[in-house]
Structures are given as C-alpha cells and as structure tokens.
Structure 1
Amino acid sequence: MKDFKAVKLSYKNTPLEVRGQFSLSQQDCESLLKVYQNDERVNELLLVSTCNRTEAYYMAEEDLSKDIIKEICTLKEVEEDKAYNYFESMSSSSDAQMHLFRVSMGLEAQVVGDIQISSQVKRAYQWTADHEMAGQYLHRLMHTIFNANKRVQIETEFRDGAASVSYAAVEMIDEITSDVSNPKILVVGLGEIGTDAVRNLQNTEITDVTIMNRTLSVAEELAEETGYQVRDFSELWKAAKEADVIISSLPIADYFNADNVKSLDILAFKCFMDLSVPRSVAVDVEKIPGALVYTVDDINARASKALEKRLNSIPKVEAIIESALTEFNKRTQEMEYSPIIKGLKSTLEDIRCREVQKYEKELSSKEKKNIDKITKNLLNKIVKIPVLQLKTTSNIDKKEGQKMGKIISDLFDLDKQ
C-alpha cells in the first residue's frame, strides 16, 4: 500500500529534554486527530507517543510530514525549525509498516522487549478508532500486529524477565513484598532512572507509592502523570520511617548511612534499592538488623540475564514479523485487485446469462439445469486463468500486476460498472 507513511522522533537521535517538548498526552493526540478528521488529504491516522518517542502513521497520497510536524509544533508551542532537526519522515510504505511492527514489538525500545510499548500502541489505536481515523487498512494492520505480538509472547523468551535496572528493581520489590499487605514504597530522587522506576511501578499491584525530589515541581509533574502521592523533601526521614521499601537514586554519596538509618527504628525489615552511582546507600547500612540493601550491581546482574535472553530471541521475533507482514501484504494486495476480479466475474456472468436466455424457450427444464451447470463451470475455469495470472504477476512485480489489472479493466470496460 503505497500511501502508508510515517513521521518519527525517538531517543535514538533526540535528547530527553527535547523529547519532553514534543511528547503528546491523550488530550494532545485527540486534538490532532480532530484536526485531521476534517482534512480530506488524510484517510487514516495513528499517533504514538511515549517518553521515548513521538510518531505519526498516516494514509495519504502526498507526503504530509511537514504539515503534521507543523501541527505538533503549534499544539506544543515549539518552533518548527527545532522540530526539523529531530523528526524524520518515512515515505516508503514497507519502511513505515516495518517500523510500526518493530516499535510495537519492543525491538526499537530503549529497553529491548519493553512490554509497556505494546499497551501504549493499543491505547493509541483505541484513540484513533474512537475518532474514526482508522479505516480498513489500519484496522487490519493493527490486528495483524496484535496477533504477531501474541506469537512473540508465546513462542519466544523476548519478554521474559526485567531487562533494565529500573525494571529489575521493581520486579525485585514485587517479589520481596509479595507477603506484605499493601506495602509502602518511597521513591527518592527523580532523575531518569528514578522516574523510570516510578513508571514501572504502575505495572504492579502496588498502589501505596510516595515520590520525593529535591525539586518539588518535578515530583508534582510525575505525580500528575501516575496518580501517586508527593511529599516535600523536608519530610524524607518521616516518610522513610513509614516505608517498607526505599528506592533511592539520589546523586549524593552515602546519603543513607548507618547513623541516620538507625534512627528509623526498623522493626521487621526495610529494603533499600540503591539505583545511584556512586552509592547513595552506604555500605555500613547492610550491617543494620532488618536492613536489606540492593545495589546497582545486584540489580544489573538480574537485568543482564533477562537482556541476554531477549537479545537471543530477536531473530525469532524478526522472523515472526516478516511472516506476519508477508501475509498482511498478500491479503492487502488481493483486496486491491478484488474489485477487478469481482467486476470481471460479474461481466462474464452477465454475458453467460444473456446467452443462456436466448435458448431457454427451446429447452426442457432438465436441459436448462444442465446447460446452466455446464456454462457456470466453463465460466469459472475461464475466469480462473486471468485471476491466477494477475495474482502471480503482482506477487512477483507489483507494478506489472497493476498494469495487468488496468488492461483487464480496460478490456472489459470494468470502470463503468
């Protein structure tokens, strides 16, 4: 399908602060979908935006990349010149298809195999469907992607385990607190890794999460996104005393040490997940009874095993994508020629019926049935020859297939039907 195109921006070529400027909320996506509902140039539109990427996939005869980038800039109040330094356009249908598949599977994720991206793409598709900007092509493409995703989940180890420090830390917390009723989690320090940990907590059943940062506005912004509670940094030690698990990504060496952690009066256990380098939880904390300390090295060892499995599974995932895309494009191609095939059958059926009618009065009831059967079988065999030739030619060379389709249309005057 030559009209399927994309425009993309991602962590691969765009720093975090710039990605933030172009990040699209649900409300932003819905505003853009409404804009293009009234644009006759765009037939279908899907907007995918995460902390790592902002992308638009669309069906249009002309390249509308600049137009879409301009609309995003207007919405986000960012200068267009800045956007053109980072956004890339994809005018090749096959490239746009493959990229959407790879993004949806997690092959293009910062954390390879990131399971969150699949949910994010599904939400994006739901918004598109709600605003009637998904037509036959996008509906079929997205469901092909979802089915391929199921195969990846079932047939490979691509999604097994946590493959990043923040993922692994949250996975460990989930296990450690499995016997604790409504565990209390405190996240201190909201740099990139601390922020990722907060977002990953949303994939667990843990609900009592407090976030804290030396710059309060940063914590408040993340709280608005996640729904977690915020406390001022001045309340750190009170919050730490109440917490079962403390995730620290503070850029301050040995901030938590034996002297101040003893004051927390640990009764059963208190877990410290130290995501900082250098350590923000001092070595001497490990000697305090009830204090469980996990460092970046401990968490990395867990993440590395999972990542190795995922990387080894990439060829299988890519094979599933290739298989799904081949089948999708084959069916899409058949749909492209189905009006020609239906028109050809209809035209020849009309000719057959008219010829049979000429001799109806001369035939008995039994003869009519036999002639009807014979001529229908003959018609099906005649139609089968150009139909098979059309499909075979288009599979080998799409342009030649299109030429043959036009010849058949012109020969039988199908456009007038």
Structure 2
Amino acid sequence: MDIVVVGLNHKKTPIHVRESVSFSESQREKAYESLKKAHYIKEFVIISTCNRSEIVAVAKDIEKGTDELKNFYIDFFNLKEKNVASYFMTLYSDDAVKHVFNVAAGLDSLVIGEDQILGQFRNAHEYSRERKATDKVLNKLFLEAVTTAKKIKRETQISEKSLSISTIAVKFIEKKFEDLQSKKVLVIGVGKMSRIAIENLIYRGVEEIFVTNRTKGHATDLSTRYEKVGVVDFKDRYKMLPYVDIIISSTSAPHYVLKKDIFKDSYNADKQLCIIDIALPRDVDPQINDFQNVSLYELDELKSVADENFKARVEAAKMASQIIIEDCIKFENWYNCLPVFPIIKGLGEYSQEIVNRELEGLLSRLEHLGEKDLRQIELFTKGLAKKLFKRPIHELKRAGEDRQGELYSKVTKELFGLMDASCKKDIGG
C-alpha cells in the first residue's frame, strides 16, 4: 500500500490539454462512481481547479494503481494516449505527500501562496469523504496538510497580498490602460472569481461595470451588492461589445460564451477591446484574438504579472518549505508506523491481561491488608508492567519510522503470541 498522485497541472501541461481534463460538477460525480470500482485504488480524492486536474490516491499496488489512474483519465475524457502521455505527472510516497502539502499551502500554484486553493483543497477532500472514497490515510493526510497551510499563512504572511487569478487579471488590465477609471467593463459570470474581479475594479475607481449571466437573478443579486454594477441580459452580451473597453469572462460553461462568428458581426473594429478569459474550459473562442484591435489574454498569459510578485514571496516560500518538510516527516512517520499500531495495541492488551490475572491471585492472598495498601500494590504492579513494555513499544515505533514496521510486527507477534493482532485491523495512532 502506498500514496500516489497522478494528474496534469499548469507546470507542464498547456491550457488546451488541461481544459480537456477539467471535471464539471456532473462529471465529478460520475468520476467518483467510476473510480470507486477500481481494483487497485483503496482511497482517492480528485482535485480539479483551473490550474490542475489531479487524483491523490492510496494504491494497493503502486504500479498497477498508477496505470489504473492514467487509464481512467484517458477513458473518462476520451483522450488519445499519445496526446497526453507526456503531460502526466506521477508522484509516489514521500514525493506525493510533499506535493499534497505544497498544493494546500499554495506553493504549487500559478501564484505562490494564493488564497483560493486552500478552500478548493478542503472542498475536494470533503466531497470525497461524503462519498466514502477516503479512509484513515487520506483523511489524516488532507487534515494535516490543511493545518500546515494555515500555520504557513499565519507565520510567514505568504498570502498577505491577495494574488488570486482575478486580482492578477485586473492588475494585468491596469498595465494595458493608462487610465483604467474611465474604462467601461463587462464581466461575464457571477462566481467567486467574477466577484473578486469586480471588487478590484471598484477599488481602482472604475465607474461603469456591467455584469451578465445565464441566470439573470444571480446577476441582479450581484448588482444589488455593488451599487456601481449594472445588469445586462445574457442574450444581449454581444450588443455590449461596441460600448465596453474591457471584458472579463469567468463562467463554468462547457462551451464558448463568446463565439467567433457572432463576435465578428457585433464588435467595433475601430475601437480597442481587451478581453481577459479566466475560465477553464475557456469562455472565449481563441480565434477572436485575430480580429482587428482585439487583445485576448488567457490564464497562462497572466503568469507574467504573477512573476512580479514572485521575488517578494521567495523568502516567505523558503520558510514555508521548511515548515512543510517538518510536517511531512511527522505525517510520513505516522504513515510508516501503520503496521505497528495494531501490535502496540496488542501488547497493551497482553500486558493488561497478565497484570489483571496475577493481581487477582495476589490480592486474594493479601486480604488482611488495608484498602490503601492494596491500592498501592495494584498501582505498582501496573506501573511496572508499563515500564517493562515501554522499550519494546519505543523500538516498534522506531522500526515503523525506519520502514521496517512489517518485519518488527511479525517478529513481535510471534514472540508474544499476539496471533489476533493484524496490521490491517485497528489502524490508527
């Protein structure tokens, strides 16, 4: 049994490949139903964000489990293996654990220390727990990773400045226009990313902001919250093209919400138009970028702005990495000790059984003593047994941490006759 991470992320996978393996809500449900039938996967969590599509799993057989996860991606998304094989990221054991900690803390994000990933990370774990796809190993791993991420944010202030993709998008726009305040902006979508973008635009003094969404009620709710935001019917979004200077699009639509042919007949070719597409799958047909006076920017291109913040966060990231190393070692020690925990429990029960049996006989022969004396004898006997087993228990834990837990557990079982103790039973610690 071992921990493995298989998936595709922003570090080596281009956006057109990432969007093809992004799980929609309905797909995620089907994916869980499918993966729960896997032969070599005991536990798993799917992490699907705009920058990554990854599966963290506990595999019965590491090689067969890894192949099963890769084949799942290929079959589930109907991919051609030759087109994605080189993009797969595969991590095992300690490397997989460290990766999970790094993801939770935002150290593996497009922007170091970004805030949104921790919430997405926790939601992914909770979703998996609700579907009984996790057990003690991944529950422990994800809870420890969340605890470490919170500690990093508290002790290093790595996320002191908000650097979500939405914030970067607005900063990116700000670099393109000398006078952002006078510009008119259309925001497509009403999710969290859109709200963050709107708040950043308002903060920078933009006076005219319009929002549109397929469900008009949600857009109306957003305009109620922000006085400067007007609502546009979704069917009228193309009519806004000649009027606005900037479009920020962030929806969960599985297809383009701005299509090339309709766009071409609707926009003003003599006017500069900046479009930021921060959705995955993409909202805007990439060919729109070929039109006169249109500048289209996608997720991957926002990295240039993210790089400006990199230097300021390098030292914080170094401190965060040290914290992660220490906490990863603690988790790995726990994980490596899984085989010895049932044996330690068995030793405790074995010693308790002997003490109780011997005390019963001894105390029955010492009835002439007072209750206080009898209690002292009982405490001394139990304390002595505890001290006698302290060294064996310590050595079992040390052996577990040294990855010799299976061997030492087997020997201890035979030495003490703990035939009912099982490495697969009562795992905990």
Give the TM-score of the pair, scaled to structure 2: 0.69
The one-letter amino acid of 1:209's match is V
Matched, 1:87 2:91: no
Contact residue 212 and residue 237 of structure 2 kept, 8 A = no
The one-letter amino acid of 2:137's match is Y
Any residues of structure 2 matched to 1:118-197 within 5 Å, and which? 118-161=118-161, 167-170=167-170, 185-186=185-186
Alpha-carbon separation, structure 2, partners of 1:77 and 1:274: 31
Q: What is the aligned counterpart of 1:406 among 405, 410, 415?
A: 410
Q: Which runs of 5+ in 1 are unaligned?
A: 175-179, 189-194, 212-226, 262-271, 283-298
Alpha-carbon separation, structure 1, partners of 2:38 and 2:99: 25
Residue number in structure 2 paired with 1:52: 51
Contact residue 47 and residue 121 of structure 2 kept, 8 A = yes
Matched, 1:78 2:71: no
Alpha-carbon separation, structure 2, partners of 1:198 and 1:39: 34
Q: Which runs of 5+ in 2 are unaligned?
A: 175-180, 200-208, 214-231, 250-257, 259-266, 277-288, 296-301, 422-429
Residue number in structure 2 paired with 1:377: 383
The one-letter amino acid of 1:236's match is L
Give the TM-score of the pair, scaled to structure 1: 0.70
Alpha-carbon separation, structure 2, partners of 1:256 and 1:314: 45
Alpha-carbon separation, structure 2, partners of 1:404 and 1:164: 49
Residue number in structure 2 paired with 1:315: 318
SS in 1 for 2:23: coil
Matched, 1:328 2:327: no
Residue number in structure 1 paired with 2:354: 351
Contact residue 158 and residue 309 of structure 1 kept, 8 A = no
Alpha-carbon separation, structure 2, partners of 1:235 and 1:352: 83
CA offsets 1:167-211 (integer angstroms, 9 cap, x no match):
33436999xxxxx9xx983159xxxxxx9x998434356595249
Residue number in structure 2 paired with 1:4: 3
CA RMSD of aligned residues (A): 4.1
Judging changes above 3 Å, is the alpha-carbon distance between structure 1 residues 71 and 302 closer, same or farther for their aligned structure 2 residues? closer
CA offsets 1:292-343 (integer angstroms, 9 cap, x no match):
xxxxxxx999866533222231101101211221222334445542211121
Alpha-carbon separation, structure 2, partners of 1:338 and 1:168: 48
The one-letter amino acid of 2:379's match is K
Alpha-carbon separation, structure 2, partners of 1:416 and 1:300: 57
Judging changes above 3 Å, is the alpha-carbon distance between structure 1 residues 319 and 363 closer, same or farther for their aligned structure 2 residues? same
Matched, 1:203 2:196: yes
SS in 2 for 1:108: coil
Alpha-carbon separation, structure 2, partners of 1:281 and 1:159: 33
SS in 2 for 1:384: helix
Report the number of matched residues: 350
Any residues of structure 2 matched to 1:361-372 within 5 Å, and which? 361-364=364-367, 365-366=369-370, 368-372=374-378
Matched, 1:341 2:341: no
Any residues of structure 2 matched to 1:87-106 within 5 Å, and which? 87-90=88-91, 92-106=92-106
Residue number in structure 1 paired with 2:397: 391
CA offsets 1:112-168 (integer angstroms, 9 cap, x no match):
323222222222112201211121111111111111111222222322335588633
Residue number in structure 2 paired with 1:285: none
Alpha-carbon separation, structure 1, partners of 2:293 and 2:163: 23
Alpha-carbon separation, structure 1, partners of 2:293 and 2:50: 26
Judging changes above 3 Å, is the alpha-carbon distance between structure 1 residues 137 and 165 closer, same or farther for their aligned structure 2 residues? closer
Deviation at 1:405, TM superposition (A): 2.6
Runs of 4+ in structure 1 off by over 6 angstroms are 171-174, 272-277, 299-302
Q: What is the aligned counterpart of 1:237 among 242, 249, 254?
A: 242
Alpha-carbon separation, structure 2, partners of 1:339 and 1:46: 26
Residue number in structure 2 paired with 1:221: none
Alpha-carbon separation, structure 2, partners of 1:110 and 1:406: 46
Judging changes above 3 Å, is the alpha-carbon distance between structure 1 residues 359 and 274 closer, same or farther for their aligned structure 2 residues? closer
Residue number in structure 1 paired with 2:226: none
Contact residue 3 and residue 56 of structure 2 kept, 8 A = yes
Judging changes above 3 Å, is the alpha-carbon distance between structure 1 residues 307 and 161 closer, same or farther for their aligned structure 2 residues? farther
Deviation at 1:236, TM superposition (A): 1.5
Judging changes above 3 Å, is the alpha-carbon distance between structure 1 residues 368 and 29 closer, same or farther for their aligned structure 2 residues? same
Percent of aligned pairs sharing the same letter: 26
Contact residue 248 and residue 280 of structure 1 kept, 8 A = no
Contact residue 111 and residue 163 of structure 1 kept, 8 A = yes
Judging changes above 3 Å, is the alpha-carbon distance between structure 1 residues 127 and 381 closer, same or farther for their aligned structure 2 residues? same
Alpha-carbon separation, structure 1, partners of 2:120 and 2:5: 17
Contact residue 69 and residue 80 of structure 1 kept, 8 A = no
Residue number in structure 1 paired with 2:205: none
Residue number in structure 2 paired with 1:267: none
Deviation at 1:96, TM superposition (A): 0.8
Alpha-carbon separation, structure 1, partners of 2:386 and 2:331: 27
Deviation at 1:104, TM superposition (A): 2.2
Contact residue 148 and residue 320 of structure 1 kept, 8 A = yes
